[in-house]
Amino acid sequence: MSLVSVVSVLNYKGGVGKTTITANLGADLAARGYRVLLIDMDPQASLTLSFYAADEFDRAFTSGRTMLHWFQSWLDEQDPVELAEFVVTPPRVNQLVCETGGQLDLIASHLGLIDVDLDLAAFVGGSRFDVSSSGFLWVHRLLADALSEAPFADYDVILIDCAPNFNMVTRTAVVASDHIVIPAKADYLSTLGIDYLRRKLAELVRDYNDAAGAEDIDPDILGVIFTMIQFAAESPIIAVRNYVTQTEQYAVPIFRQMIRESKTLFTSAGERGVPAVLLGGANPNVLAELQQLTDEFIEKIKL
């Protein structure tokens, strides 16, 4: 039986550091000797572009080998293609992690994934996601069934970077997941949607389990990770602490470790194709926070 942990990283609001958390957590786990797969399910493809320059993306992924093309192989009445055929191994980051025995693999995204949402929804009665629809379980289980295949059993962790919505593609990720991580900025708009997201997750789990019967899912929320934190005198500013307190009222766990704002570091990391946590000589405070976040993540999922 596979012991791989599948974790979706999502939030309704964009610009909260979702991709930054996914890339750095995955890279740090790989640097510690774990085998990690990252799946980019956000049409913006920011996670993919964290490891491949724009010109490399155009050459390698525009015409194939992305989540778009995998979904299309199921929807366009073609012969479905195994998901494992879409796995790539980004070279620059793996040059840094290979000495530990770790590996970081990726399945890329594509802007056209936006349209796939509409096609998938058509199988489940449109945006209302009709539980009685004959395609409800099939569509929701597409990714879960793919990740249950033998090639994925060799991974320790699979991290899924979801789009900032709760549409059909995101729902397939949730059904495939053991755990959910919610990155959020400590501000009004970012924290406001956390309770709504919690309730939407519970609704999906209920509807899916009603339809599936014995094949229940029960992904747990590992916690909210507060990102882009403003510090004063080496402590988060008072407003941050207020929003953390507000989030605690939603009865969701919160990661102890927060990640401070560092636009220069995270931007340059994307340009190099190597996440910030692996960059030597970078801001030591940020690196320590990213590494401590990985420690906490390992503890929570019992790696």
Q: pLDDT by residue (tens digit) across 53-101?
A: 888 888 888 778 899 999 999 988 667 899 999 999 999 999 999 999 9
**Which residue spans within 59-163 are E strands per DSSP?**
103-107, 157-162
Structural domain count, the chain: 1
User: 181 has which bridge partners?
Assistant: 9, 223
User: Which tens digit of pLDDT belongs to each residue from 17-55?
Assistant: 899 999 999 999 999 999 999 999 999 999 999 999 888
DSSP characters for 247-298? HHTTT--B-S---B--HHHHHHHHHHTS-GGG-TTS-HHHHHHHHHHHHHHH
Least confident segment among 165-179, 189-203, 223-237: 223-237
Model confidence band, residue 1 (pLDDT cutoffs 50, 70, 90) = very low
How far are the Cα atoms of 1, 65, 75, 105 from residue 81, in angstroms, in the given order? 23, 10, 11, 18
The b/e string for 167-185 (b: 16+ C-beta within 10 A; e otherwise) is bbbbbbbbbbbbbbbbbbb
* SS3 of residue 180 by DSSP: strand
Cα–Cα dist 276/256, whole Å: 20
Helices (H) and strands (E) in the chain, counts: 12, 8
Quick: pLDDT tens for 212-250.
877 789 999 999 999 988 765 555 566 677 778 778 888
Give tens-digit pLDDT for 139-152.
999 999 999 999 99
For 193-247, strand residue ranges (E) read 220-227, 231-232, 235-236
Give residue 46's domain range: 5-301
Q: What is the CATH number of the domain that holds 210?
A: 3.40.50.300
The C-alpha atoms of residue 40 and residue 36 are separated, in whole angstroms, by 13
Tokens of 41: 């399910």
What pTM did the predictor assign? 0.93
